[in-house]
Amino acid sequence: MPTAIHPPGTLHITTVETVVTLPPRFDVHMVAPLLDLLAPFTDIAHHVSLDGSRVEHIDNAGLGLLQELREAFGIVGGEVTLTNMSLALRLGIELSGLPVELCDDLLLDLGTAA
Amino acid sequence: MSYSSYITWRDQPVPLNPDLTIVIPTYNESARIVPTIASIVAHLAIRPESFEIIVSDDGSTDGTPDLVRNMGMRNVIVLAPGINRGKGAAVRAGVAASGGRLILFSDADLSTPIREIDAIIDAADSADVVIGSRGTVGSEEAEKSTIRRLTSWGARKVTRLGLGLDLADTQCGFKLFRRDAAMALFSVQRVDGFSFDAEILFLARRLDFSIHEVPIRWIDAPGSTVDPFRTALNFLVDVVRIRLQALIGRYPRVRPARGDATLERGLRLAVVTALPPSTATLTEYGHHLVRHLADKPEVSELIVLADDRDGLPESSDAYCVVAAWRFDSWSTPWRLWRAVGRTRPDVVLFNAHFSSFGIRRVPAALGLCMPALLRLRGVRTMVLLHNIVEKVDLSAAGYGNSPARLRALSALGRVMTKVVLRADWVATTMPSFVETLRESYGAQNVSLTPHGTFETPLAPADETVDGRRRILAFGKFGTYKRIEDLLDAHRILLDRGGFDDVEVVIAGTDNPGAAGYLESAALDYADLPGVRFTGYVHETDIADLFESASAVVFPYTATTGSSGPLHQAGCYARAVIAPRLGDLLELIQHEGYAAEPFEPGEPDSLADAIAAVLEDGEHRRELGRQNYAAAIGLPLADICDLHVGRALRLAS
């Protein structure tokens, strides 16, 4: 397990539990940095928690990435969860038309949404 | 704000004049518009202002308008004329439809994050126009391509040299206007394309509106549908054109007159309609429309410009009736013109369809010209249009069978539709009507305003009071509402046996274009037992009429728009037996009604449908319950809020 990673941009891992804080603008510009950041964890079963509390805008690229990560982590027995979802993130997911099963999974942590 | 507050905003209408309107012009934004709206809603939800969002589409071909409509948000208005005119035209349409005291337009890609609105709104305390700026101290730009940097730099130079604008950034798609400034500027603005920003700011300077620039953070959002080279070239041409327009006096030098006083003193509204006892059409609807409009606190004075052919209805405490036109008379335009001149309303609302003013073509057409003519006079006009020619089977509706005649009538109808669309605003009662007017006529001033239900009695009885089985047909008969199939079906049921107790009630009068029809039909079926003709039904007897019926049947050969009797059947929780006809089925499905169907023109099919409803009490009651649920969901009282809101916007 990594102990400290300093990713590019506003993304950063805050604990060894691999909590990744999503940026305020989670759009196409953030896809590559986030993929780079999480690439090491897709080789083994790993749990990554995405903290969505700061998200003010998520576009379709960001939403697509969430889905992609879920599949990539699932293949190796890991998982991705969303925590502390901001209202913008929650509405972005709800209104996006993402596959329901993904929304259901991602919405497991909605109890903490604003 | 919590998620539950968002749900409230999503489902409940905001005030008619909210604090803020966000106008989002769109062109093929299906990939971005939903996340954009989500972000805007989430951010504004934490601010204190009430707000609405207007998505003003510029002829997208990727389904952007439908995508937004399908979000099911009550306070998101979609304007989709179906033609591509340019961003300027889209923003102008959005501003015209807005109700906010502050109006912001924002690009659909949210290149300027919505959080920047906080500083923009704060600045509106001291400026008429507040613009997001990428050129002032404190602003930030991220991910901006070299091409965009070059075009932005060029635009700044051109606007400074060509239009004398000393602003650091005229093209940022994030601008806020106080309402009076927005209305004044967009009412005289002419550029349809991307250069409209520069024109608006040029006009703001010319009309002495204050402009304040607020530094913003800007992020280039990929996926722009703009061709930078073509846009730059067009921009140059437009700047020259703006300058020329100014030179030849096409722009005013003083601010247009403001009508915001209307909001303070209340609305002086005139309604052109027939009312009972007139035997013209739409009288019942007119009666209830006027009654509910009179209850609205925003309406300080209600004037009914009424048909006086069959006597003048009485005025009441709530409204004043003026004899202003006569059904089927050539004098209607002149009389209406004078009546409007005398009464001086802020807005005139026409309750109309294509034969509202007469059966003869010339009087009918003259009456329909009045919204456009009054508008030329400077009077704001709205039309509540109950049908459109494209949706009427003219032959089945009794306009003859000659193909040449039908073609001529259809062409005349299309011409009259174009004339009607010259009103300031046109509301229609069916979604497909709106679609047709937008797609076939390119109309931007059209919206859906459902028919609505007149009354919503609490807990109406499931069954008739006296227990007798009764089938009701209600309306004005003789054209597309014909009773032969119904009476034939009744005879079929009597022959089958087991239906001897059933009474068929034909309630209503002849259509103005089919005088003597009911009398003739009564003679033809004089031998048929269990049939009762009521003649004209007074308003006070409507409730008893419907409550005494087991089911309401619609013996139509065609339809001409939304159906009053269908909504009345719903009010009284009555089962409905309806023909499989396009508009009626659309209406039933769209508004959530339920009906036992039959094939139009087939008495056997109608007999089967009546039998199915009368013999299965649970089925009958279930249909009634569903119709009641649909009816109470769309009361005319609420629909009138839409009319009043629109009228207030026009007046101000």
* Facing residue for A91 by CB, picked from B32, B41, B143: B41
Query: Which pLDDT score is estimated for A100?
Result: 40
Distance from CA of A84 to the nearest CA of B (A): 13
B114 touches chain A (CB under 8 A): yes
Q: B28 vs B25, B59, B225, B235, B461, CA distance in Å?
A: 10, 8, 8, 21, 51
A2 vs B629: CA distance, rounded Å: 59
DSSP sequence for B56-72: EE---SSSHHHHHHTT-
B128-179 tens-digit pLDDT: 999 999 877 777 777 667 777 777 777 778 888 888 888 888 888 899 999 8
B255 falls in which pLDDT band (50, 70, 90)?
low
Query: Above 60 in pLDDT, residue B34?
Result: yes
Q: Which of A91, A98, A107, A110 should be substituted to probe chain B, the one whose Cβ sees the most B Cβ atoms within 10 Å? A: A91
Q: Percent of chain B scored above 90 by pLDDT? A: 33
* Structure tokens that stand for B234 in this block: 């067009």
A28-41: average pLDDT: 83
What three-state secondary structure class fits B219? strand
Contacts of B366 (CB under 8 A, 6+ apart): B330, B332, B333, B357
Q: Which residues of A touch B46 (CB under 8 A)?
A: 87
Q: Is the ipTM of this complex over 0.85?
A: no
Query: If you measure CA to CA, which chain A residue comes closest to B42?
Result: A88
Pairing mode, if any, of strands B102-106 and B20-26?
parallel
B7 burial level (CB within 10 Å; 0-12, 13-18, 19+)? exposed
pTM: 0.53
Provide the 10 A C-beta neighbour count for residue B230: 10
Subunit contact A87:B110, Cβ cutoff 8 A: no
Phi, psi of B650 (to 5 degrees): -65, -40
* Facing residue for B31 by CB, picked from A56, A60, A88: A60
The amino acid that residue B202 corresponds to is F
B241 falls in which pLDDT band (50, 70, 90)?
confident
A114 touches chain B (CB under 8 A): yes
* Structure tokens that stand for B237 in this block: 């041409």
Best mean pLDDT range from A98-107, B159-168, B365-374: B365-374
Subunit contact B221:A86, Cβ cutoff 8 A: no
When mean pLDDT is compared across B68-72, B134-138, B541-545, the lowest value belongs to B134-138
Q: Which of B414, B410, B420, B411 is nearest to B445 (CA)?
A: B420
Subunit contact B1:A95, Cβ cutoff 8 A: no
The answer to whether B282 and B384 have CB atoms below 8 angstroms apart is no
* Facing residue for A92 by CB, picked from B35, B143, B221: B35
| Rg, chain A, Cα only | 13
A7 falls in which pLDDT band (50, 70, 90)?
very low
Distance from CA of B71 to the nearest CA of A (A): 7
Longest dimension (CA), chain B: 92
B7 touches chain A (CB under 8 A): no
B224 touches chain A (CB under 8 A): no
* Structure tokens that stand for B97 in this block: 């439809």
Query: Which pLDDT score is estimated for B562?
Result: 64
